[in-house]
Amino acid sequence: MTAVLNADTDAADTEEILSATRRWLERAVIGLNLCPFAKSVFVKKQVRYALTAASSADELLAELEHELNLLAASDPAELDTTLLIHPQAIRRMKIGGQPV
């Protein structure tokens, strides 16, 4: 399951970001057994990849709230996990007035 939330990237960039996230999930999280629950939901296609164009903490928080509400309202047999992917937010956010 894939969702693009408030997209500001073109289709090629979007697919590249989503592909990189899937590879990270397979190779790092599942491959290194960092999360014992990840493999089963991945195999059953119960992972939602939500790509957001949020560029501020407030926007990202709103997207996170949306995804949490969606998860709470979903049947766990259909949707068990969401990966909220936010490539723009990290680049633009500031901590203590300093860019991250």
Contact 56, 88 (CB under 8 A): no
Full-prediction pTM beyond 0.85? Answer: no
For the residues 17-30, what does the mean pLDDT come to?
Answer: 93
- Give tens-digit pLDDT for 76-94: 999 999 999 988 765 555 5
Whether 42 and 90 have beta carbons less than 8 Å apart is answered as no
Complete DSSP assignment for 31-88: TTTS-TTHHHHHHTT-EEEEEE---SHHHHHHHHHHHHHHHHHS-TTT--EEEEE-HH
